[in-house]
Amino acid sequence: MTGATAARGGGAEPAGGPTGEKDHGIHLLQQMLRIRRFEERCAELYSHSLIRGFLHLDIGEEACAVGVIDTLSPDDAVVATYREHGHALARGISMRAAMAELEGKVEGCSRGRGGSMHLFDAATRFYGGNAIVGGGLPIAVGLALADHLQGRRVVTACFFGDGAVAEGEFHESMNLAALWHLPVLFCCENNLYAMGTALDRSESETDLSLKAASYRVPSWEVDGMDVLAVEDAARSAVETVRAGGGPHFLELRTYRFRAHSMYDPDRYRDKAEIEQWKQRDPIPLLAERLTASGVLTDGDLERIEGEVGAEVDDAVAFAEAGTYEATEDLERFVTSEPVRAGEAS
- Applying CB under 8 A, the residues found at the interface with other proteins are 77, 79, 106, 108-114, 118, 120-122, 127-128, 130-132, 135, 137-147, 149-150, 156, 168-169, 172-173, 175-176, 179-180, 332-336, 339, 342-345
Q: Which is nearer to other proteins, 6 or 195 (CB)?
A: 195
CA–CA dist 305, 86 (Å, integer): 17
Q: Which is nearer to other proteins, 68 or 143 (CB)?
A: 143
User: Helix or strand or coil: residue 210?
Assistant: helix
The distance of closest approach from Cβ of residue 250 to other proteins in the complex, given in angstroms and rounded to an integer, is 20
Q: Which is nearer to other proteins, 180 or 268 (CB)?
A: 180
Q: Which is nearer to other proteins, 160 or 220 (CB)?
A: 160
User: Helix or strand or coil: residue 250?
Assistant: strand
The distance of closest approach from Cβ of residue 132 to other proteins in the complex, given in angstroms and rounded to an integer, is 5
Which of 13, 67, 30 lies closest to 229 in space, CA to CA? 67
Asked if 136 and 80 touch (Cβ cutoff 8 Å), the reply is: yes
Identify residue 338 by its one-letter amino acid code.
Answer: P
Asked if 237 and 14 touch (Cβ cutoff 8 Å), the reply is: yes
The distance of closest approach from Cβ of residue 208 to other proteins in the complex, given in angstroms and rounded to an integer, is 19
CA dihedral sign, ordered 150, 151, 155, 158? positive
Rg (CA), the chain: 20
Q: Which is nearer to other proteins, 80 or 233 (CB)?
A: 80
CA–CA dist 322, 329 (Å, integer): 17
Q: DSSP for 6-54?
A: EEESSPPPPP-S----HHHHHHHHHHHHHHHHHHHHHHHHHHTTSS-S-
- Alpha carbon 234 to its chain centroid, in Å, reads 13
Asked if 100 and 319 touch (Cβ cutoff 8 Å), the reply is: yes
Which of 217, 213, 250 lies closest to 65 in space, CA to CA? 250
The distance of closest approach from Cβ of residue 199 to other proteins in the complex, given in angstroms and rounded to an integer, is 23
Asked if 117 and 131 touch (Cβ cutoff 8 Å), the reply is: yes
Q: Which is nearer to other proteins, 120 or 193 (CB)?
A: 120
The distance of closest approach from Cβ of residue 114 to other proteins in the complex, given in angstroms and rounded to an integer, is 5
Q: Which is nearer to other proteins, 294 or 342 (CB)?
A: 342
Q: Which is nearer to other proteins, 154 or 259 (CB)?
A: 154
Residue 178: its H or E element: helix 168-179
